[in-house]
Amino acid sequence: MNRKRVARAGAVTLGTVLTTLLMMLTSPAAGALSRDDPGPGLSVFETLAYFVVAPLALFGLIAVLVVLGDRPRKDTTSNVRPGRSD
């Protein structure tokens, strides 16, 4: 195997492992031992809005944008009239 490829694969692997460890150490779960006031809870309406309605609305918006972007356009460069095979 080529030494450059091995070195590149090792560097990518090392970078990935170090980044993962750094993210794990700085995550909010690492500070779970300190007891902070979590604040007020969400109401049923807020929970449904955040975790059901908002994702469905985003999914619908993305689907509409994809459909609008994928629809065929009229060919305005052709000089042939519709119904004629010239």
pTM (two decimals): 0.45
Within 8 A by CB and 6+ apart from 42, the residues are: 50
pLDDT in tens, 14-36: 999 988 888 877 776 656 666 66
In this prediction, residue 7 has a pLDDT band, given cuts at 50, 70 and 90, of confident
**HEC profile for the chain?**
CCHHHHHHHHHHHHHHHHHHHHHHHCCHHHHCCCCCCCCCCCCHHHHHHHHHHHHHHHHHHHHHHHHHHHCCCCCCCCCCCCCCCC
pLDDT in tens, 28-84: 665 666 666 778 899 999 999 999 999 999 999 999 999 988 888 776 666 666 666
